[in-house]
């Protein structure tokens, strides 16, 4: 079941969709080449850590909770 908060519904563009994808990266993986996403992206680290880099911002080390 998916619930959208009433105040958030107005911010979701028509035709938008959500996807869940599990990505496994090996230790020392050189990462993905620079790329863009057409909308917000949310990530969750389930094991280990990853260095997250966003253009124009300092790298952020993300670890499992």
Average pLDDT over residues 18-40: 80
Kind and range of the H or E element at 61?
strand 60-63
Please check the confidence at residue 58 and state whether its pLDDT lies above 90. yes
d(CA 25, CA 62): 14
Sign of CA dihedral 38, 57, 44, 35: positive
Over its C-alpha atoms, the chain yields an Rg (Å, rounded) of 15
Q: What is the pTM of this model?
A: 0.56
Gap between the terminal Cα atoms of the chain: 25
Residue range 19-46: average pLDDT?
81
Q: Which carries the bigger pLDDT value, residue 37 or residue 63?
A: 63
Average pLDDT over residues 55-62: 90
């Amino acid at each position: 079941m998916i619930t959208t908060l009433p105040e958030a519904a107005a911010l979701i563009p028509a035709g938008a969709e959500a996807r869940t994808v599990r990505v496994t990266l090996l230790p020392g993986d050189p990462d993905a080449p620079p790329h863009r996403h057409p909308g917000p992206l949310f990530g969750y680290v389930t094991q280990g850590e990853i260095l997250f880099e966003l253009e124009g911002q300092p790298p952020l080390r993300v670890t499992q909770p």
